[in-house]
Amino acid sequence: MAKKSSKTKTQSQDRPGFLEDLGKAYTLRRKNIVLLTGDIHGLFWSPKKEGFFPLEEALVHELSDKFTLVRMDIASGLTFYDKSSELEILRVCESKDGVYIPKERFQSMQRMLEGSRHSPLPALVLMKGIQEAYVRVRKEEPNLKPLCMLIFYAGALIPNGDFTRLGDLDRQRLVHFMTWVSESSFVNSPDLILLVNSVKSEINSKIHGLPHSAHIEISLPGEDQRAAFVDHFLKNAKVKFEGGKERFITSTAGLKLNHLKDLMEVSSRSDGTITKDEVVAQVNEILQAELGDIIKIRYPSHKPSDIIGYKETGEIFNSIFERCEDPETAVSAILVSGPNGAGKTYQLEAYASQSGRVVVELGGIRGQYFGETDRFFELLRWHIATFGKILILVDEAHTAFGSVHSSGTHETEMRLAGNIIKMMGDPTYLGKVLWGMMTSRPDELDPDIKSRAPIQVPIFDLEGEPRKIFLHEMFKRKKVSISDEDLGTVLGETDYYSARDYRNLVAEVLAQRRKKPDITVLEVLSGWHASKSIKTQREFQSLIAAMHCSYPNLLPHNLREMDDRTITKRVEELKWYLSK
């Protein structure tokens, strides 16, 4: 299991947490193959240099006193960070007396190093030879500084996949690497290999399974690290923050320190103010660059006070978000169903905003990530861990994930659905993450997902007096006057309207008044009305929602009068009718 690097507030200007974890893995657990994944392109504090540096520089600052370092990637081959390291490795490999290096052997080694460029397999062979030379020389020089081999973009060097699915060169590199690191001469040596890659799932899983390997996931910077970085930057620059520095630090959850630096650099040089909208746009840009368009971060501005009606539903949502403040009473997911246009998303966002939760919208997953499912889930989990308490909204959840039970579901989609289900059931996320599964067809939702949503809240169209109050308030908020008599007429002619349809009616009135300011609502309605094309579908969706209801008092009066058998019969009739 991956060890997540962490750091308390008192450590914010001390060694990065992942370096603490690396030291423990190497010295206490005797792991000499370590996978570093996660925030590998971030900035990290170096106590030695008293500044923030990229990962590679931070590793060099930390390890150069303890190891002789050699670097490798598939493009550059084997390289060194300084001349002294290069000469030390040449001495160990090519000197017979431990001091003098014959010219011809020096030149031969230089040719091999040059030949390792763009040639990953020869580079691996050379690296193995260097490490074996260290094992030999260490017998004569017990105090010889250990070798540390930093392999960057390790997923490109040793990609994941079974032997039968790898190409010939990939298979040869994997076999060579596994043979080398499985030998007792390496296992029992103090030498260290660091495999650096953004995600673990891209590195061959056979390496993960080695008993002397470990995985450390570098977390995105927490609030204390972001605060320390901002304070360090402000020592030499002036920056303006909309809402203050503390708000900027809080709202930049999900960003690397590099991104904070970019925002502050622009503000400092232009004398501009960093706005919250700019920060949110930056967060979403980064998330979409890594995860695609399926994920979006939102900070809703509307609150429950902006919702018209739905008093009973509001009391339930209030209770849900309150209980989710405590892991002991929290639920992992809720199912919110109802016909199209009833306002499921708007209401959930409002209560999330009131509770201070960040809203993460997730959608369009299914079918987009064949071959990248494991990578996607690893990045999703990694990003989610950075935010504080969040609400993950999944719209039309019945289409978002494939079923783990359906024979028609592709194995990749099935694995993704299984990973999401496991994440929902992870007790460590209770209270931190609340999944809001919204759907007009909860009957098509995978049963394993429904079982993790003990609270099922249907949202129906308002009826009677609440419906009248809703429409009157909609017009009032847009300063559209309407008499009680006309309002009653409008309600009679729009008995099939959803909340969304009423919003569209108000927008239509406002649009027509731009050309004819004195036009009445009834006049607009005489020439325009919402489509009836999905009226039957909405009736069907309402009946399905009634079957997925934890609170019977939320049912409209006509549905309360129907028993389960009658509802089921009507559902089957409409299902047959709509399938024609």
**Contact by Cβ (8 Å): 298, 361:** yes
DSSP string, 505-550: HHHHHHHHHTT-TT--HHHHHHH-----TTHHHHHHHHHHHHHS-S
pLDDT of residue 408: 54
Instruction: Using alpha carbons, list the distances in angstroms from residue 103 to 84, 106, 109, 131.
Output: 17, 5, 10, 22
Which region among 25-39, 104-118, 205-219, 506-520 has the lowest average model confidence (pLDDT)? 104-118
Cα–Cα distance measured from residue 224 to residue 240, given in angstroms and rounded to the nearest whole number: 20
Cα–Cα distance measured from residue 309 to residue 24, given in angstroms and rounded to the nearest whole number: 57
Q: What is the pTM of this model?
A: 0.75
Q: What is the mean pLDDT of residues 248-255?
A: 86
Residues 6 or more apart whose CB falls under 8 angstroms from that of 106 comprise: 90, 94
Residue 338: HSE in the Cβ half-sphere, 13 Å Cα cutoff? 21
Q: Which helix (H) or strand (E) holds 458?
A: strand 455-458
Q: What is the mean pLDDT of residues 287-300?
A: 76
Banded pLDDT at 151 (limits 50, 70, 90): very high
pLDDT of residue 405: 53
Q: What is the mean pLDDT of residues 528-550?
A: 91
pLDDT of residue 13: 58
The CATH-assigned architecture of domain 297-458 is: 3-Layer(aba) Sandwich (3.40)
pLDDT digits (tens, 9 = 90+) for 465-519: 999 999 999 999 999 998 999 999 999 999 899 999 999 999 999 999 999 988 9
pLDDT of residue 560: 87
Beta strands in 305-454 (DSSP E): 333-337, 358-362, 390-394, 433-439
DSSP string, 402-418: --SS-TTS-HHHHHHHH
Are domains 3-218 and 297-458 of this chain identical in fold? yes
Amino acid at 422: K
Query: Which residues, listed in sequence order, are joined to residue 465 by a DSSP beta bridge?
Result: none
pLDDT digits (tens, 9 = 90+) for 155-200: 999 999 888 888 999 999 999 999 999 999 999 999 999 999 999 9
What value does the mean pLDDT of the chain take? Answer: 87
pLDDT of residue 409: 56
DSSP string, 56-121: HHHHHHHHTTTSEEEEEETTTEEE-SSHHHHHHHHHHHH-SSSS---HHHHHHHHHHHHHTTT-HH
Is the CATH number of domain 3-218 3.30.70? no
pLDDT of residue 10: 37
Q: How many CB atoms lie within 10 A of CB 564?
A: 9
pLDDT of residue 11: 41
Residue 3 predicted with pLDDT over 60: no
Beta strands in 127-223 (DSSP E): 147-152, 192-196, 213-218
**Contact by Cβ (8 Å): 338, 458:** yes
pLDDT digits (tens, 9 = 90+) for 307-338: 998 999 999 999 999 999 888 999 999 999 99
Residues 6 or more apart whose CB falls under 8 angstroms from that of 163 comprise: 171, 174
Q: Domain-by-domain residue ranges, the chain?
A: 3-218, 223-290, 297-458, 462-580
Q: For the chain, how big is the Rg over CA atoms in Å?
A: 31
